[in-house]
Structure 1
Amino acid sequence: MGLFRTFYSNSFHGMNLIFTPISDDSILPNEIITDILLMLPTKSLLKCMCVSKSWHQLISSPHFVKTHLKLNRNNHSVLFSDINGKFKFCSINYLFNKQQQVTQELLHMDPPTLLAFVVGSVNGLICLCNRAGQMFIWNPTISKSKELLNSKCGTSIYIKYGFGYDELHDDYKAIYVDYSYHNDNDDVSKTRNVVNVYSLRADSWTTVDDQLHGIYLVNHYGKFVNGKVYWVASTGLHSLKLNNIISFDVADETWGSLELPICREVDSIFKLGVVGSDLSLLYACHDLTCDVWILKDCGVWTKLFTINYPRNAGLYMLAPPIFTFSMHLQRSEIGDILLSLPGYIMIFDGSTKKFEHTPDVKGPNPPEIYAESIVNPLMISGSGS
């Protein structure tokens, strides 16, 4: 095995690693080598895996992967899909800089399938589904993907999706809910639902009928927060009159419900989403203001703040609740706010909560904010070596 000394800058992100041979009498203890490697960003770790077989085994080990993930949760990128069904990405920090041409920073990325949409992401893994009903779990950072064999996805327009992490069993699960009519008629009272759950670790699907009898999920893609996937629910298959919030516990595969924080006003529309790592609701009104609510750990809804959005963004802010949102709070003294909606991103001043600028990145699907990681879906499913 070759022995190397690693030189790195004080700023870990974006560093260039240089490996040079070292003598036997200057070998570092394994504990120190592990601690150094854990401090490196994901892209640098990929280079380190090529140094030696022992380093590859260390960095690929489940314990190292989990520890590195916990230490690097704030290293986020944003994934965009263009009109050609291809993907591009950039660091989330570029989007906050209004002086920077973001389009110049967008990098091309080859997905495992074209014309796919993002179901959700967690721990650097992104769940994709294409128009043919194929589903994939993909880590774009390490270019590894796993196709979900025997996918249960159909062609119904009333399909709802979800993706989450089962921390109890260290497993990733995709959820697919299909509403269909009995006897191919349009009698809503005779609809039934089929809930399909895929386990990455077992590499298999389970199916349960009518677990949501009389409950109709509204948003196409559930939002994963703290072990559960959430949807807003209505009183009918074609209704957008929201009733409550429905959750799916990824670990024990049970369903639950939450009340909405307040009764919405007549002229307001709200969307389900996440703010950082908290479940959130966005109440948008026609007076160009929007209230941001988050669900605390104790299960209590709290109004976080109110933002002022521009008139030309009303089309996106007042869109139906079938769409969700993501909000990222920049970790800096300024504390600017990034709001991601389907096909649109807005940046707000952290202190005044007023609109600042819109990055010049748009696409047909919602941008996906994800944390870079070295989690390999093939290793979890037993398909990798």
Structure 2
Amino acid sequence: MASDSVIPLFLLLPDELITEILLKIPVKSLSKFMCVSKSWLQLISSPTFVKNHIKLTADDKGYIHHRLIFRNTDGNFKFCSLPPLFTKQQHTEELCHIDSPIKRSTLSTHIVGSVNGLICVVHGQKEAYIWNPTITKSKELPKFMSNMCSSAIKYGFGYDESRDDYKVVFIHYPYNHSSSSNMTTVVYIYSLRNNSWTTFREQLQCFLINHYGRFVNGKLYWTSSTCINKYKVCNITSFDLADGTWGSLELPICGKDNFDINLGVVGSDLSLLYTCQRGAATSDVWIIKHAGVNVSWTKLFTIKYPQNIKTHRCFAPVFTFSIHFRHGEILLLLRSAIIIYDGSTRQLKHTSDVMQCEDIYVESLVNPLTISDQGRRNQESPQSSHS
């Protein structure tokens, strides 16, 4: 009897207090709470509640709701919670299996990026999905192109806040160019809200290096070169998802020919991992700060590698990285390794070789099917009112 009376008593609370309580509850529980009543279903699934819940979970400094997603050698995806990785409490054999919307996952299946709990996953050039693994909802993207070689494509996935829209960007380079001068590229942009692709041609004066653009504050970023077959980083190229414009940023280090640069994120800041030469024992971490229209690079710290860790000294420029801080520890995520440093000494504490590390996502209620349906209804409503 006592358990039967809990829900009615709880429903007597003011709506504002109920909302505040529900905002602090994990997604898995909220999915069940949607069955309590119609009013709770409307509240929890409302765009305002979903956005506020994302903000609270994404800003959680303890990373309780953050998940790291991997892919093993047979193409299947697995995930683990982020916090235990800082103390090496979680091992690769303890990873949880997760069902991808792509049923025939192979090594040609990869994750383009993650934002607000949504993941863009692509299988070759034939299948692409926007997927929320937490609520197991996915939206298949319409077929968009053919006769394209995967090695000639650069990818990006991000959020256009001005339109409350999620966008996928594919950039195709023709193979009959040896330099970026007057190179015509084909840019494909998918809008989840419109459920459609837009295609246009650009003459970029650079060749994008990293496979997947890093999404930071409304823009996608790639390191770039002047030659299509060379990976010498010359600057950083950006693409604004709101207005579709290209931009560029200068590197913080100039005038050195022999260096390796990887693009990544530190927290919510765009970052570079700079190694003065291949095989060096240290790398510098730089972040970029925005102050109005002005941007400036700041050297954050230097990380040190022990002599016996040779595999972690060479970072392929086509792959990106991320760094996270927790309780005085620094977690460096590379494509095939997790490295933990002491926050005060910057000295390595331990490393873990892992299967292919794809991305970090935050648990969220964002439903890609709902966003796409809302966009379709908005497009149909003017027509129906006219008729």
Q: Name the TM-score, length of structure 1 as normaliser.
A: 0.87
Find the residue that maps to 1:273 and give its secondary structure.
Answer: strand
**Residue 204 of structure 1 corresponds to which residue in structure 2?**
196
**Measured at CA, do residues 26 and 219 of structure 1 come closer, stay the same or move farther in structure 2, by a change above 3 Å?**
closer
The 1-side partners of 2:8 and 2:82 are apart by 41
The 2-side partners of 1:48 and 1:307 are apart by 45
Does structure 2 conserve the Cα–Cα contact (< 8 Å) formed by 1:194 and 1:207? yes
Uncovered stretches (5+) of structure 1, i.e. residues with no partner: 6-17
Q: How does 1:6-155 map to 2 (within 5 A)?
A: 21-23=6-8, 27-73=12-58, 74=60, 75-98=65-88, 100-103=89-92, 105-113=94-102, 114-115=105-106, 116-152=109-145, 154-155=148-149
The 1-side partners of 2:4 and 2:320 are apart by 45
Q: 2:159 aligns with which of 148, 165, 171?
A: 165
**Measured at CA, do residues 28 and 324 of structure 1 come closer, stay the same or move farther in structure 2, by a change above 3 Å?**
same
Deviation at 1:136, TM superposition (A): 0.8
- When the two structures are aligned, how many residues end up with a matched partner? 360
CA deviation profile, 1:102-124 (whole Å, cap 9, x unmatched): 23541110010123211011111
Deviation at 1:135, TM superposition (A): 1.1
The 1-side partners of 2:170 and 2:214 are apart by 13
Find the residue that maps to 1:40 and give its secondary structure.
Answer: coil
The 1-side partners of 2:164 and 2:286 are apart by 30
Q: 1:237 aligns with which of 219, 225, 228?
A: 228
**Measured at CA, do residues 25 and 227 of structure 1 come closer, stay the same or move farther in structure 2, by a change above 3 Å?**
closer
Find the residue that maps to 1:296 and give its secondary structure.
Answer: strand
Deviation at 1:267, TM superposition (A): 4.1
Does structure 2 conserve the Cα–Cα contact (< 8 Å) formed by 1:341 and 1:367? no
The 2-side partners of 1:39 and 1:264 are apart by 50
Find the residue that maps to 2:352 and give its secondary structure.
Answer: coil
CA deviation profile, 1:281-336 (whole Å, cap 9, x unmatched): 00124331110000012211000000112334443432331111111111x2xx21
Does structure 2 conserve the Cα–Cα contact (< 8 Å) formed by 1:95 and 1:359? no
The Cα RMSD (Å) is 2.4
**Residue 11 of structure 1 corresponds to which residue in structure 2?**
none
The 1-side partners of 2:351 and 2:344 are apart by 17
**Measured at CA, do residues 341 and 313 of structure 1 come closer, stay the same or move farther in structure 2, by a change above 3 Å?**
farther
The 1-side partners of 2:182 and 2:237 are apart by 21
Does structure 2 conserve the Cα–Cα contact (< 8 Å) formed by 1:141 and 1:372? yes
**Measured at CA, do residues 37 and 342 of structure 1 come closer, stay the same or move farther in structure 2, by a change above 3 Å?**
same
Deviation at 1:372, TM superposition (A): 1.3
Deviation at 1:268, TM superposition (A): 2.7
Q: Does 1:256 align with 2:247?
A: yes
The 2-side partners of 1:25 and 1:379 are apart by 28
Uncovered stretches (5+) of structure 2, i.e. residues with no partner: 378-387
The 2-side partners of 1:85 and 1:21 are apart by 45
Deviation at 1:187, TM superposition (A): 5.2
Percent of counterpart pairs with the same letter?
54
**Measured at CA, do residues 43 and 320 of structure 1 come closer, stay the same or move farther in structure 2, by a change above 3 Å?**
same
**Residue 310 of structure 1 corresponds to which residue in structure 2?**
306
CA deviation profile, 1:349-385 (whole Å, cap 9, x unmatched): 111111111235x12x333112111111111111799
Q: How does 1:209-358 map to 2 (within 5 A)?
A: 209-212=201-204, 214-263=205-254, 265-285=256-276, 286-298=279-291, 299-330=295-326, 332=327, 335-358=328-351
Does structure 2 conserve the Cα–Cα contact (< 8 Å) formed by 1:156 and 1:180? no
Does structure 2 conserve the Cα–Cα contact (< 8 Å) formed by 1:343 and 1:367? no
Deviation at 1:25, TM superposition (A): 9.9
The 1-side partners of 2:349 and 2:13 are apart by 49
**Residue 381 of structure 2 corresponds to which residue in structure 1?**
none
State the one-letter code of the partner of 1:209. Answer: R
The 2-side partners of 1:174 and 1:25 are apart by 42
State the one-letter code of the partner of 2:152. Answer: Y
Deviation at 1:22, TM superposition (A): 4.6
The 2-side partners of 1:257 and 1:204 are apart by 28
Find the residue that maps to 2:311 and give its secondary structure.
Answer: helix
CA deviation profile, 1:62-81 (whole Å, cap 9, x unmatched): 01000111111133110111
State the one-letter code of the partner of 2:158. Answer: G
Does structure 2 conserve the Cα–Cα contact (< 8 Å) formed by 1:79 and 1:88? yes
CA deviation profile, 1:53-102 (whole Å, cap 9, x unmatched): 3212211110100011111113311011111111111110110123x242
Find the residue that maps to 2:173 and give its secondary structure.
Answer: strand
State the one-letter code of the partner of 2:159. Answer: Y
Find the residue that maps to 2:35 and give its secondary structure.
Answer: coil
The 2-side partners of 1:291 and 1:203 are apart by 41
**Measured at CA, do residues 304 and 25 of structure 1 come closer, stay the same or move farther in structure 2, by a change above 3 Å?**
closer
Find the residue that maps to 2:101 and give its secondary structure.
Answer: coil
**Residue 12 of structure 1 corresponds to which residue in structure 2?**
none
Q: 1:370 aligns with which of 349, 357, 361?
A: 361
